Amino acid sequence: MEITASLVKELRERTGAGMMECKKALTENNGDIDAAAEWLRKQGLAKADKKASRVAAEGKIVSAQDGGKAVLVEINSETDFVANDDNFKAFTDAVAKAALASGAADAEALKTAKLASGETVEEARASVIAKVGENVQVRRLVRIDSANNVAAYVHGGRIGVLVEVKGGDAEFARGVAMHIAAMNPPYNKAADVPADFVAKEKEIELAKMSEKDKAKPAEILEKIIGGKIAKIVNENTLYGQPYVLNTDQTVEAAAKAAGADVVGFQRLAVGEGIEKVVEDYAAEVAKAMQV
């Protein structure tokens, strides 16, 4: 069968692969466009395997929500350039919708979820790797499914927050989500702070005190240390922090005024916890010239 330019063009539009790759795929499959698309997908899987070891610490946080059901998904690329590529962005949006619809509990379960196109997430991931030429990973998924007010907020594609609020309204829930995105509190309320964290902070504060202060009566010393620990706990809890939308009051006070109670939250930031590789291109070139 003759491999026409229009056939190559159709396959390119369908798969996003390069012109020469499309021509080769059609040649290998006697002009059968469906078989050629499948062949390219298989080649994409091979490319994905080769790229899987490369560090992907850029990317996007995406969200999807339907009432009290909401998800955040972190999808990584190797560079910020690809994170802004239209193919990558279309993939991330499709994955977020699939995550919400499928009920997948984590990123591993999400791999087999179906996109609107009929592909699984893992199949689509391989295809997007072939298009963008970088390692792409669906790294994390968090979700909330509740009858309470739920807000999903994503800031600049880099930070995402889900928050569940009992009482109050959608506007307050969104405001709290924005606060969490900005201030990144490790804990929700004072009761959620681990005892070993408090014990360690007490130990540190005691070590920082002068010998004169340490010699004070036990009850006074305990009061001094208690005040310092209370300040640290406030700094590390959502309820203890000044509310970013009204710094004259704490989040706890704002919640009380809104007739609300923050039940819990989830926060994701792109690439957190991933060790990034810093390339020394000058050294790499110098080494190559010595070979």
Taking a C-beta distance cutoff of 8 angstroms, is the pair 25, 44 a contact? no
Res 38: pLDDT: 79
User: From CA 45, how far away is CA 41, in angstroms rounded?
Assistant: 6
Fold entry, domain 58-145: Tetrahydropterin Synthase; Chain A (3.30.479)
Res 281: pLDDT: 46
Residues in the chain: 291
> Residues spanned by CATH 1.10.8.10 within the chain?
5-51
pTM of the model: 0.76
What string of DSSP letters covers 150-187?
EEEEEETTTEEEEEEEEES-HHHHHHHHHHHHHH--SB
Query: Average pLDDT, stretch 6-15?
Result: 79
The CA distances from residue 53 to 47, 219, 240, in Å, are 11, 57, 42
* Per-residue model confidence as pLDDT tens digits over 252-264: 999 999 999 999 9
C-alpha atoms less than 13 angstroms from C-alpha of 24 in its C-beta half-sphere: 8
Structure tokens at 170: 């959608």
Res 167: pLDDT: 97
Residues 6+ apart with CB under 8 A from 19: 8, 12
Structure tokens at 126: 């391989």
Res 45: pLDDT: 46
Residue 157 Rama label (left phi>0; alpha psi -120 to 50; beta): left
Q: Which CATH architecture has domain 5-51?
A: Orthogonal Bundle (1.10)
Res 165: pLDDT: 98
> Residues spanned by CATH 3.30.479.20 within the chain?
58-145
Res 287: pLDDT: 53
| pLDDT at 56 > cutoff 80 | no
**Around Cβ 269, how many Cβ atoms within 10 Å?**
15
C-alpha atoms less than 13 angstroms from C-alpha of 128 in its C-beta half-sphere: 28
CA–centroid distance for 108 within its chain: 15
Mean of all residue pLDDT scores within the chain:
88
